[in-house]
């Protein structure tokens, strides 16, 4: 997917529709769970290191599947990759 890094950075600084500190585990088998600030802005889920202003990354929430795992966790699947989130 093509994107403009400056536009994404500007979008990440907009007020969030939802935001929370979550434990996030990436799609790779050996990825380690990390505490991240997660912000939903429009249809992007930005994730930040705690106490940093620039996002580490962003997930485009188009054609993705969100599944509730239990009361405090959910997974987000898109194009064969799955990210796991858990409330702290």
Q: Residues 6 or more apart from 83 whose CB is under 8 A from it?
A: 24, 25, 26, 27, 59, 75, 76, 77
Q: Is the pTM of this model over 0.85?
A: no
Domain 5-87 has CATH 2.30.29.30: yes
**What was the pLDDT predicted at 1?**
64
Q: Which of 6-10, 23-27, 57-61 has the highest mean pLDDT?
A: 6-10
pLDDT digits (tens, 9 = 90+) for 22-58: 998 888 888 898 999 999 999 899 999 999 999 999 9
Q: Is pLDDT of 79 > 80?
A: no
């Amino acid at each position: 997917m093509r994107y403009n890094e400056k536009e994404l950075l500007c979008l990440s600084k907009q007020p969030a529709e939802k935001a929370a500190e979550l434990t996030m585990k990436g799609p790779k088998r050996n990825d380690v769970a990390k505490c991240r600030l997660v912000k939903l802005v429009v249809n992007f889920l930005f994730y930040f290191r705690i106490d940093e202003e620039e996002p580490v990354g962003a997930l485009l929430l188009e054609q993705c599947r969100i599944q509730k795992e239990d009361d405090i966790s959910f997974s987000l699947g898109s194009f064969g990759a799955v990210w796991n989130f858990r409330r702290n």
